[in-house]
Structure 1
């Protein structure tokens, strides 16, 4: 059975794309998991994933070893405890105001000590605030924690990345096409291109064979005409010998 391995960064929700892929390719095993810890791009370099949904700031992580297609942008929010000063802002807080709050660093909360879930507990205590992409705030939402957009904050980009060197990319191209919104009948889908190319090869072969048959038939007709001419002692279709022969 063919297998496609997909990892995704915390907060990314690729479920709808995976469901569509499974509908189109029910016989392909789709292995998918959320990567909460470590550098997700390392999975590609170590051949532990065929593609990853990566989150990044600034320049694209695309390089000679991997392709990256940007998909969408995430806004930054600040998470704080209820009754924190941040709660008095309706929807957003200026970045300079947020900078004045005691900040929590996610690097201090790796997965082995509980990760983002434990960090949110600290936020709920009122000790510090946490700045994260909106999708992460939604994923780890708590009743005792509020979130507000950061005006002038740093947005993050979510993209899909895959190795530049792969022996077989057909299934991956199908998945990427689904992520980019291509329909099952899109001419840009690998399966559709392969079908069209196969149909073209069949059609070209049929045309070539028909041409050979036509040429063979014309050749046979020409040979028959020459044979008929020789048997008549004259030109094809002119029985009786040379034209203009006088009677004696």
Structure 2
């Protein structure tokens, strides 16, 4: 959603954060409902809708996931070779920090691309595998947000583990909010945390469920990841659209168009 010419970013954020307004637009209704605690969090419905989206868009989501994995592996190999690293256990803190920054710069827009592909799936929009790279122009704010989240998560894990896990979970919608609504980093992070806090117990169940699925995928020698990884991103996309999107949350009934789900790279 784009901010109108006569409405400042600050006013839009105030409205989105649940400030009273005589005429709430359709684009604000889901967020207002979420912040007031009135969203009906139905885990079964969320997973059923997300699973249906995987069936419709698998051959678009799967190449995008492989592209991200391949890009990370390629950059990691290039950095190891360029720095003449022979033993990864002997990497200095400065080198490790530089490698982390490079990976964050690479991963932030690509992860955002995957998450937004999940959002566009939830909106039943046409997708291409190359939509993964749509948010490269936003690399600086996205990388800054990812770096901030990474630092806070690592700091929390170093303290008592649970604070770090909370930051990871509560900040999950930060990148899509920056990409979709063009919010500043701090406002996107705060808004993500506020909404997740309203339904914290449900989000704990969602993330624990995926942690169990990723562990169980070992039994299939990783083959189950072909379905689990796209399911993870369609689930996040479904929740994002329910909590931050336009109008009423969609029903669990599939409304797919066959031509939208084909691979069109």
- With structure 2 as the length reference, what TM-score do the two structures score? 0.18
Q: Higher helix proportion, which one?
A: 2
Structure ranking higher on relative contact order (CA contacts 8 Å, 6+ apart)? 2
Which of the pair has more CA radius of gyration? 1
Q: Higher strand proportion, which one?
A: 1
